Structure 1
Amino acid sequence: MALRNIMNDQKDDILRKKARIVEKVDFRTRTLLEDMAETMYHSNGAGLAAPQVGVLRRVIVIDDGNGLIKLINPVIVKALGEQQEIEGCLSVPGIYGKVKRPEKVIVKALDENGRPYDLEGSGLLARALCHEIDHLDGILFIDKMIPGTIIKQSDLPGV
């Protein structure tokens, strides 16, 4: 496993490109997942998408506090309800803001062995899934941020 550099310039072209489908789940894909997980934990993040580490593949990792989730080629197939919560991003350091997301989502994906599965998430997990899947399509949370809700890290309580 290795730490990867996180792209953290909003103007970085790779963050605005659409990631490619993973055609074959192999050792390289599993290594990418492991490296991304290590990088996410090292950076105190709740999720990370492959484009954030410079790889244009549809691969994400998430840990909402209930353990590591690895998803390959994730697709939201159902979204229900609504929530508006503050989000941040490892690729947009120091900026936070409210984003409207579904309260619950169902996602189809492949696991690290290439087996298809469905994942249901609500609350924080639903937000994280939507946030990371957006990265796969070149969308940053600041693109969806509710106007007037931007918060700088220095303005957060306890900072």
Structure 2
Amino acid sequence: MIQKIMRDEAFLSQKAEPATLEDLPVAQDLLDTLNAHKAGCVGMAANMIGVNKRIIAFDNEGKYMVMFNPEIIKKSGPYETEEGCLSLTGIRKAKRWQSIKVQYQNEQFQTRFKTFTGWTAQIIQHEIDHCEGVLI
């Protein structure tokens, strides 16, 4: 179901709770909402639809991917950039990494590891910041 975009900065500043199997419907809502905003949005975290859980969905080279409980465990190649956010107005500066290795759980809650680079890595970092309560 397409959900309303959360704009309350106090809510968005909270650190997300770990996701569980019971949160699978949230992932579908996240995908539906991301798809509805695909013209101006390439990734979303669950708190952007009002659910304080550690779930992200993003465009992974043309195909949406969902991660439960993502954590960046390795990073390299720092750079400075500017980003916008559907939940916030304006553009903000951000420090990002060219390459990241992420530990996460898939839809069956199996632990996975994957390395991402470039634009996809930047999107994931932005969404994980949402999970940490960091406003970008």
TM over 0.5: yes
Larger Rg: 1
TM-score (norm 2): 0.91
Q: Deviations over 1:47-72 (max 9, x none)?
A: 10011111111111011443111000
**Which stretch shifts more, 95-104 or 108-117?**
95-104
**Which stretch shifts more, 67-76 or 29-38?**
29-38
1:134 and 2:129 are equivalent in the alignment: yes
Supply the distance in 2 between the matched residues of 1:36 and 1:114 (Cα, whole angstroms): 17
Matches within 5 A, 1:114-125: 114-125=109-120
Q: Which structure 2 residue ranges, 5 or more long, are not aligned?
A: none
Q: Is the 8 A contact 1:106 1:119 kept in 2?
A: yes
1:3 and 2:2 are equivalent in the alignment: yes
In the alignment, what sits opposite 1:16? 13
Matches within 5 A, 1:24-35: 24-26=20-22, 29-35=23-29
Supply the distance in 2 between the matched residues of 1:78 and 1:135 (Cα, whole angstroms): 18
RMSD, aligned α-carbons: 1.4
SS at match of 2:21: coil
In the alignment, what sits opposite 1:157? none
- Alpha-carbon shift at residue 3 of structure 1 (Å): 0.4
1:61 and 2:57 are equivalent in the alignment: yes
Quote the sequence identity (%): 30
1:96 and 2:91 are equivalent in the alignment: yes
1:41 and 2:35 are equivalent in the alignment: yes
Amino acid at match of 2:13: R
Amino acid at match of 2:32: E
Q: Size of the alignment, in residue pairs?
A: 134
Amino acid at match of 2:82: I
Supply the distance in 2 between the matched residues of 1:91 and 1:65 (Cα, whole angstroms): 23
Higher strand share: 2
TM-score (norm 1): 0.78
